[in-house]
Chain A
Amino acid sequence: MANKETLNNVLITGENSYASVEDSIGRLILKPQLHQRGWWIFFFIGLAGTGLLGVSITWLVYQGVGIWGNNQPVAWAFDIVNFVWWIGIGHAGTLISAILLLFKQQWRNSINRFAEAMTIFAVMCAGLYPLLHTGRPWVAIFWLFPYPNIMGMWPQFRSALEWDVFAVSTYFTISLVFWFMGLIPDFATMRDRSRNKFGKIAFAILSLGWRGSNQHWHRYEQANMLLAGLSTPLVLSVHTIVSYDFAISTVIGWNVTVFPPYFVAGAVFAGFAMVMNFLIPVRAYYGLKDLVTIRHIDWMCKILLATGMIVFYGYILEVFYGFYSGNVFETALTKDWRFNGPYSGYYWALILCNGIIPQLFWIPKMRTNLLVVWLVSFVVGIGMWLERFVIIPISLTNNYLPASNKMYYPTMWDFMMFGGTIGFFIFLMMLFLRFLPAINIFEMKDLLHKVINDESKVEPTVEAMNSKMNPTPAKEEVPA
């Protein structure tokens, strides 16, 4: 098992030169034979999931949303749970590419491309749900976007749901532009290295005539900083607005002021967990251990721990409000419908997954044991899904008027569609690994340059470090 790797403060390990960095990333694309059984297995899992998604969407459009388990009063159920879950997963990418860039955190370089790709794919999965929840997605455009239409009507600008449309679409656009822009220099590298005619042409078109001149780099750096500045507020705003969908309503269990910060922290939490779920197997399978080091994993675990604590604090506050508010309905929800009652299992599972298990990361050994890290990340992914499940449908089953209480049961199609989006996500990630540089080549070279020219190091190339060598003191801690 690969969990014997040592922890030190070097962000690139092994014998690496500019050419070897370029090679170890580029060959994933240029050498199809590298993608062996493992890749094909996941590719087919993804493809099957995408097929499942296609089938469930087709049937949904044909039959209507009645095939879902949604009922009155539970009008928001799996569709919105999954929407919020996926949107949250995207947040790691934006945090890494924007905020960590502005804070000049070098360690982001080797994971940002990956995380940004996840952002985009996750937002694509997320976007499907509200669109399909409208029942008639082909006319949803005139319900969602404000433009002078033949109904003489504008969307309700005072509704948080409308803000959500803008928040999510801006988020998607900026993430996509940011991602693509960062890819341009790497596309140029791939264009120059590619031996295959088709690959050359494709990469040449995608690299938009990049020649790597000083002027190009200058503009690139400027645009990069600008986009980072633009997307920084998005890290906070997107999930804040998603939380408004709930927080500004009067539904019991939704009307809580702590929602915005707690949703944002939860999003970053879920996002980093997902990044690790994918990154750990990928780095092992494709031999990228020198570029994505144990140091990275350790730091991501710390972020997971920090955001997990915020989320846990949110759960505690919810319980506190349940009693402190003196609102009998809130108290009843907390006491009889979350702590006890038919759904209590989900509530306690949530506390276990998101509140208790991540505390393992207080122990340094756990943060470097890849198996533990992977398992905890996986559990966090489940926990974040449960969190939305507890908040959304479970709160809706319990109303001010006992007469309108009704249990919620998902149907087969709810699960199929959820499984379908997961498959679709895996499918896109597999294509990403196969056809795009999964790690930022030029930023890694830049990092290597900095590592080589760092006075404190003696060797011109970075030697494989072992635990005996005393690492330099850690860089400033990550802002969580």
Chain B
Amino acid sequence: MAQIFKPSANHITQATLMGLAIGVPTVWLAIAALSRSPANTKVNVPLNQPIPFSHQHHAWELGIDCRYCHTSVEKSSYAGLPATETCMSCHSQIWTNSPLLEPVRQSYETGTPIKWNLVNKVPDFVHFNHSIHISRGLNCNTCHGPVQHMQITYKGNSFQMQWCLECHRAPDRHIYKDETRPDLQPRQQVFNLYWKYQTTGLDGLSERERALMLGTFNGTDNPKEREAGKQLVKDYGIKVQQLADCSVCHY
């Protein structure tokens, strides 16, 4: 009886099996990598804004405090974005002819708020709260990256659940207090670091502070620092064993 397939069919079969053995894990890994890459998380991807607002310019070069614009960050769950009036407090005086500022003036005259595009957003089923994090002395840059050096604001971290839990499971790796300023409240520690950076530059900062300010800090594994972190967790009365419970963020 005539053969249905030529002997080469054997090779095709082997190649197919090999292809499957390699292909399936490859696709799997590719999906895994893609979901963690900036293509999905948008980390380090600047987002177009109606006005090219620069934190580098305002927060670093002019040295304006974050709270001047994000007024509610210490007290409420939302940091809030500045009202047009906040911009106009200066821009009614300076750079009044800049074409880039035209939308601000327009908004001021018509009373319609500027429509900023949100860079950082957690889904509706997640409850995030700024005030608790600030009152535990967590610097904005731990989460948002080197904001004071951003020309156009971008996302500093993935904000995936994994990332939140990485800190919630072991906050002692992140909690920090400047030993040279024991007099400051944890919340003041957050903003003091920016002033310290302003006055001393990178050279005056400890290695950890430098990493914090440049947004590269990912938690410490230094036993001594962790010991200090543990002490702070205790002092602040943080209940670590409950901090990763689902109901903390999903309720």
Contact = CB atoms under 8 A, between A and B. Distances in A.
A209 interface: yes
Contact of A209 (B10, B162, B165, B166): B10
B174 to A, nearest CB: 15
B35 A150 contact: yes
Residue among B9, B162, B165, B166 with most chain A CB within 10 A: B162
B4 A200 contact: yes
Contacts of A191: 4
A152 B166 contact: yes
Interface in B156-191: 158, 160-163, 165-166
A201 interface: yes
Given A200-B4, A204-B4, A152 B13 contact: no
Contacts, number: 31
Nearest to A151: B161
A152 B1 contact: no
Contact of A192 (B1, B10, B161, B162): B1
A201 B4 contact: yes
A191 B165 CA distance: 57
A209 B161 contact: no
Given A209-B10, A209-B13, A151 B4 contact: no
Contacts of B5: 204
A153 interface: yes
B75 interface: no
Give chain B's interface residue range (CB within 8 Å of chain A): 10 to 19
Query: For the complex, would chain A's binding face be called helix, strand, loop or mixed by DSSP majority?
Result: loop
Interface residues of A, number: 13
B160 A150 contact: yes
Contacts of A153: 161-162, 165
Interface string A196-230: 00001100100011000000000000000000000
Given A192-B1, A201-B4, A204-B4, A151 B160 contact: yes
Nearest to A207: B4
A102 B170 CA distance: 53
B70 interface: no
A208 B161 CA distance: 46
Interface in A130-169: 148-153
Shortest Cβ-Cβ A-B pairs, 5 listed: A152-B162, A151-B161, A204-B4, A152-B165, A150-B160
Interface of B: 1, 4-5, 9-10, 13, 32, 35-36, 158, 160-163, 165-166
